[in-house]
Structure 1
Amino acid sequence: MSLSIEGKTAIVTGAANGVGLAIARHFVEQGANVMFADRDEARLAAEVGDAQTEDGARLHYFAGDLRERLTIANLLSATIDAYDRVDILVNASRQILITDPLDPEDNSVMTLLEQNLLTALRLSQAVAKRMIHQAAEADDDEGIIGTIVNIGSIAGRRTQPELLAYSISAAALDQATRSLAVSLAPERIRVNGVALGSIMSTNLRTRLADADEELRDAIVRATPLARIAAPSELAETVQYLASDASGFMIGQVLTVDGGRTLIDPVVEPAH
């Protein structure tokens, strides 16, 4: 089986910065056509704007709030207009909020379920329908017709009171990955996920900039590989899940955390 995604068309959400941007850039480097999707139009334009104006451009961007159902439909339409099809979806858009577990007015759980779970679920449903339609149009009745990869967090398996909402949304996304995998397998669509440990995401970079060296040192001490990973290190794992190399794998959530969950010092933040 091949790791190649050359010639495939992918939608990557959260692609204006951090993890999503690293995945989207890597996919372009590997020969895929990529729709960079995010709410931050200014950042998308800065990262992708000039490249998408070139003849035969293999990257375009779409800006919009994917919590809105109409925006999801518009994203899919924009991708079809640009590339005629979609073969891969990477749900990499994530939000992290600190939660007060004793405050009944704290709405962070609902906010993050909407952002981290429901957005990925709705987009997966829309893209899956398109993949099925493409296969029917091409009279393709053999092999896998599409792949979906959900980017979550090891916070979904750990208990940290200040990350209550984020942990709940991450755990829910893991379960959605497993449930969608079983539901879409008969349609020849594979669904898998990745649970991240401490990757230098935009959120973590911001937190480290606002803190002293103690926070960075604590995260490093909590990780057997003794470092924080670069976003680019995740991209090849996602490529593996999106490619034929993982052709018999569904419903799996791969852990990419430098060994963090093997020793489980739950007092340290997980991102």
Structure 2
Amino acid sequence: MRLEGRTAIVTGGGSGFGEGIVRKFVAEGARVVLVDRDGDGARRVAAEAPDQIAPLVADVSRAEGFASARDIALSRFGRLDILVNNAGVGHTPKPLDELDEADFDRIANVNMRSIYHGARAIVPHFKEKGYGAILNVASTGGVSPRPNLTWYNASKGWVITATRAMAVELAPFGIRVNAINPVAGDTPLLKTFMGADTPDVREKFLATIPIGRFSTPEDMGNAACFLCSDEASMVTGIAMEVDGGRCI
């Protein structure tokens, strides 16, 4: 029960890594405002623990989504302690000069702008309390880029730099900021990153991961729980690679 009594906002919590983080947080005693654009996914996950999970259908690339999540956390659960910026999008492998502007804007808005909106909505509350934990979900692509995913890689490199800068600036206020760098997992985004989901493509991708498997939502939940708990009270500004050795 490492998160007992805590309340978290988790974006993109209706599937994939976000779902794994929500489930782990609930198992460790937290209450969660689950934010997702997919209403069916959000409600499905929330139905597993209706007393602990409040689903919110919202677009976190807009400021209104975070404002609503903050207000629900405070009105329903009476407090807010943790923000997990998990929502993210990618693009199918494509030469950097061929990705159209609409796809670029989508990546920038969801992967980068959402973190800005989250900080604007939540950091003042954390400063007032003198306590808070923020976790940004970046990617191994921000550390060891793969060809033809340049703009996705760049957005995740931005997340890592933002995490470090936020950690330095917010430490005097008692606010810790960390990130995790997952390798690709068997989630709805897998086909997007690989370009195709066939046995041959999977085999080639797995060959780049020394441990020899994809990451799982449970892997991300375990790492997120540690970094957002008091066990990590001396840890801030890191981007933890949860990647089976991919970036070595």
Equivalent runs, 1:192-207 vs 2, <5 Å: 192-204=178-190
Give the secondary structure class of the aligned counterpart of 1:120.
helix
Alpha-carbon shift at residue 158 of structure 1 (Å) = 2.4
> Which residue pairs with 1:120 in the alignment?
115
Checking the alignment, whether the CA contact within 8 Å between 1:193 and 1:251 is kept in structure 2 is yes
Checking the alignment, whether the CA contact within 8 Å between 2:180 and 2:240 is kept in structure 1 is yes
Alpha-carbon shift at residue 206 of structure 1 (Å) = 6.8
Hey, what's the Cα distance between the residues in 1 that align with 2:48 and 2:227?
A: 29
Checking the alignment, whether the CA contact within 8 Å between 1:38 and 1:65 is kept in structure 2 is yes
- 1:188 corresponds to which of 165, 169, 174: 174
> Which residue pairs with 2:222 in the alignment?
236
- 1:45 corresponds to which of 43, 46, 65: 43
Q: Provide closer, same or farther for how the CA distance between residues 159 and 230 of structure 1 changes in structure 2, counting only shifts above 3 A.
A: closer
Hey, what's the Cα distance between the residues in 2 that align with 1:105 and 1:207?
A: 17
Hey, what's the Cα distance between the residues in 1 that align with 2:22 and 2:103?
A: 28
Q: Provide closer, same or farther for how the CA distance between residues 224 and 45 of structure 1 changes in structure 2, counting only shifts above 3 A.
A: same
Give the secondary structure class of the aligned counterpart of 1:31.
coil
> Which residue pairs with 1:214 in the alignment?
200
Hey, what's the Cα distance between the residues in 1 that align with 2:198 and 2:186?
A: 16
Hey, what's the Cα distance between the residues in 2 that align with 1:146 and 1:5?
A: 13
Alignment of 1:254 onto 2:240: yes
User: TM-score, normalising length from structure 1?
Assistant: 0.85
Alpha-carbon shift at residue 210 of structure 1 (Å) = 5.0
> Which residue pairs with 2:125 in the alignment?
130
Hey, what's the Cα distance between the residues in 1 that align with 2:219 and 2:66?
A: 28
> Which residue pairs with 1:28 in the alignment?
26
Q: Provide closer, same or farther for how the CA distance between residues 125 and 165 of structure 1 changes in structure 2, counting only shifts above 3 A.
A: same
Unmatched tracts of structure 2, length 5 or more: none
Count of paired positions: 247
Letter of the structure 2 residue corresponding to residue 81 of structure 1:
S
Alignment of 1:95 onto 2:89: yes
Hey, what's the Cα distance between the residues in 2 that align with 1:252 and 1:104?
A: 31
Checking the alignment, whether the CA contact within 8 Å between 1:38 and 1:44 is kept in structure 2 is yes
User: TM-score, normalising length from structure 2?
Assistant: 0.93
Alpha-carbon shift at residue 217 of structure 1 (Å) = 0.6
Alignment of 1:17 onto 2:15: yes
Letter of the structure 1 residue corresponding to residue 54 of structure 2:
H
Q: Provide closer, same or farther for how the CA distance between residues 219 and 104 of structure 1 changes in structure 2, counting only shifts above 3 A.
A: closer
Deviation sequence 1:167-205 (CA, Å, 0-9, x none): 010000000000111111111100000011122222116
- Which segment drifts farther, 102-111 or 76-85? 102-111
Checking the alignment, whether the CA contact within 8 Å between 2:91 and 2:192 is kept in structure 1 is no
Hey, what's the Cα distance between the residues in 2 that align with 1:183 and 1:250?
A: 11
Checking the alignment, whether the CA contact within 8 Å between 1:19 and 1:234 is kept in structure 2 is yes
Alpha-carbon shift at residue 221 of structure 1 (Å) = 1.1
> Percent identical across equivalent pairs?
27
Hey, what's the Cα distance between the residues in 2 that align with 1:167 and 1:207?
A: 11
Deviation sequence 1:111-168 (CA, Å, 0-9, x none): 21211011022202321111223x2xxxxxxxx6110010110101223332111101
> Which residue pairs with 1:59 in the alignment?
53
> Which residue pairs with 1:148 in the alignment?
134
- 2:80 corresponds to which of 74, 78, 86: 86
Checking the alignment, whether the CA contact within 8 Å between 1:49 and 1:61 is kept in structure 2 is no
- Which segment drifts farther, 203-212 or 36-45? 203-212
Checking the alignment, whether the CA contact within 8 Å between 1:109 and 1:168 is kept in structure 2 is no
Deviation sequence 1:4-42 (CA, Å, 0-9, x none): 111110111110100001100110011111111111112
